[in-house]
């Protein structure tokens, strides 16, 4: 099954770092595998802010995906130390990605339009959000009752 990625491709990766093409065991499918890993990370970081997948091309995401994918390729072949230029590029890409996810940096399409934030997600609030949960995923014998919650509920009911 072919790997499909939206933000970058093997050609862009080879243009960014031509030496990748000289690695004898590096073919397009392997580069796309690393690009897919980069895209997965990007999507995970920005999914709360934007509706995915995008229907337009976003140059910043191409740049970030390319930088992250090349770093993935390099680290699959060699050890990269903190002073290596690609480690710095990787750290810068992650910082930029965090800025996008935090809303400090907008995404701009190739047409120059700002990508709107997703509107399909909202927070759900409960009237008992400030209480300790009665049930959780742990051991059933570790379940607890929040005495404040019980007292408040009894008071609301006039008991």
- Tokens for 137, please give them: 């995923």
Contacts of residue 101, Cβ cutoff 8 Å, sequence gap at least 6: 45, 46, 48, 49
Please say whether the beta carbons of 30 and 9 come within 8 A: no
CA distances from 50 to 97, 121, 147 (A): 13, 9, 40
Number of H helices, E strands in the chain: 5, 0
- What's the pLDDT at 105? 96
- What's the pLDDT at 96? 98
106-150 per-position pLDDT tens digit: 999 999 999 998 865 555 666 666 666 666 666 766 667 677 777
Task: Look up residue 94 and give its DSSP letter.
Answer: H
Band the pLDDT of 46: cuts 50, 70, 90: very high
62-114 per-position pLDDT tens digit: 999 999 999 998 888 777 788 889 999 999 999 999 999 999 999 999 999 99
12-35 per-position pLDDT tens digit: 888 787 777 666 567 788 888 889
Distance, in Å, from the CA atom of 49 to the CA atom of 67, rounded to the nearest integer, reads 22
């Amino acid at each position: 099954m072919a790997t499909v990625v939206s933000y970058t491709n093997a050609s862009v990766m080879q243009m960014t770092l031509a030496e990748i093409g000289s690695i004898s065991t590096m073919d397009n499918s392997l580069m796309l595998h690393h690009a897919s890993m980069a895209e997965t990370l990007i999507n995970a970081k920005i999914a709360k802010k934007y509706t995915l997948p995008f229907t337009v091309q976003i140059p910043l995401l191409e740049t970030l995906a390319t930088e992250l994918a090349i770093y993935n390729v390099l680290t699959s072949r060699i050890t990269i130390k903190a002073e290596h230029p690609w480690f710095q590029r990787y750290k810068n890409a992650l910082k930029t990605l965090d800025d996008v996810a935090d809303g400090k940096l907008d995404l701009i399409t190739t047409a120059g339009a700002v990508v709107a934030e997703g509107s399909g997600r909202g927070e759900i609030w409960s009237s008992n959000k400030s209480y300790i949960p009665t049930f959780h995923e742990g051991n059933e014998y570790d379940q607890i009752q929040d005495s404040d919650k019980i007292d408040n509920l009894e008071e609301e009911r006039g008991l």
